[in-house]
Amino acid sequence: MLLDLKMQKLNGFEVLDKIKKAGISLPPTIIITGQLPKYIGQLKDYGIDEQDVVTKPFNFEAMEQCINRKLGSQIVSAEVGSEYEDVIYKKNRCRLGFVEDEEDVLEHFSEFFKERKYNVLCFNNGTKAFESLKKEKVDILFVDIKLPGMQGDCLMEELSKLPAPPFMIPVSADPMADGMLDRLKAIGCKHFIAKPFDIVELIELVKTIALEKKLLG
């Protein structure tokens, strides 16, 4: 989560307070502020260190480095060193598919899941994905709604007609219309991912589904 401390309706600390009061675990968080010395003490009360703060004005390279460091530390602390995680990923028979037109997002998807020994197929076009997935089976498929060629909802509806369709998960940066949600639920979609997503939660979701399908361990 990228959180600017200075916003119009709710400031960053009010957002942090609401998350805390709701009993929700704080996701990997990077703070954006122009007044770090003023706020560092308060941020530490929420478990946010100085290294997780990007000061204004910032350049995007510094932001990217901070994000990569934060995500890496969160994932390592949750999984690396766990004998259970090592065992289940050692025998990974799950094939994942990602249909997404943003190349950098596809690259990150592929990197994170290949590290966990998933077999990963990536597509940046809905029509090309459909032609390939008619021949190549995947177990779990993430599909962005807005795609070049065939749109994501149409792609999933067509794939649902296959003899053994994948477990499909729609991804969207915009709220889905009720009609589209109803159509996707009707073809078996149970999870819906909103952008921007938390990669750690995504990894856990895939692991849960793969375990249920007995594709791990």
In this prediction, residue 70 has a pLDDT band, given cuts at 50, 70 and 90, of low
Across 19-33, 105-119, 127-141, least confident range: 19-33
CA distance 93 to 108: 20
Q: Is the pLDDT of residue 137 over 90?
A: yes
Look at 107 and 196; give whichever has higher pLDDT. 107
pLDDT at 206: 94
pLDDT at 10: 73
Name the pTM for this structure.
0.63
pLDDT at 181: 92
- Mean pLDDT over 76-84 rounds to 46
Joined together, the tokens standing for residue 105 give: 């997002």
**For a pLDDT cut of 70, what percent of the chain falls above it?**
87
Kindly report the average pLDDT of the chain as a whole number: 84
- Mean pLDDT over 202-217 rounds to 91
SS3 87: helix
Look at 82 and 77; give whichever has higher pLDDT. 82
- Mean pLDDT over 108-127 rounds to 93
- Residue-wise pLDDT for 151-172, tens only, equals 999 999 999 999 999 999 999 9
- Mean pLDDT over 97-119 rounds to 91
One-letter amino acid at 22 equals A
**Cα–Cα nearest to 101, from 154, 175, 171:** 171
Mark out the alpha helices in the chain (DSSP H runs): 12-21, 36-44, 60-79, 83-90, 103-114, 126-133, 152-159, 178-186, 199-212
CATH superfamily of 2-79: Response regulator (3.40.50.2300)
- Mean pLDDT over 191-213 rounds to 89
**Cα–Cα nearest to 126, from 108, 99, 104, 102:** 99
Q: Is the pLDDT of residue 132 over 80?
A: yes
pLDDT at 48: 80
CA distance 48 to 101: 33
Ranges of each domain in the chain: 2-79, 83-212
In CATH terms, is domain 83-212 a member of 3.40.50.2300?
Answer: yes
List, in order, residues 6 or more apart from 37 with CB less than 8 Å away. Answer: none
Do the domains at 2-79 and 83-212 have one common CATH topology? yes
Instruction: Count how many residues are written for the chain.
Output: 217
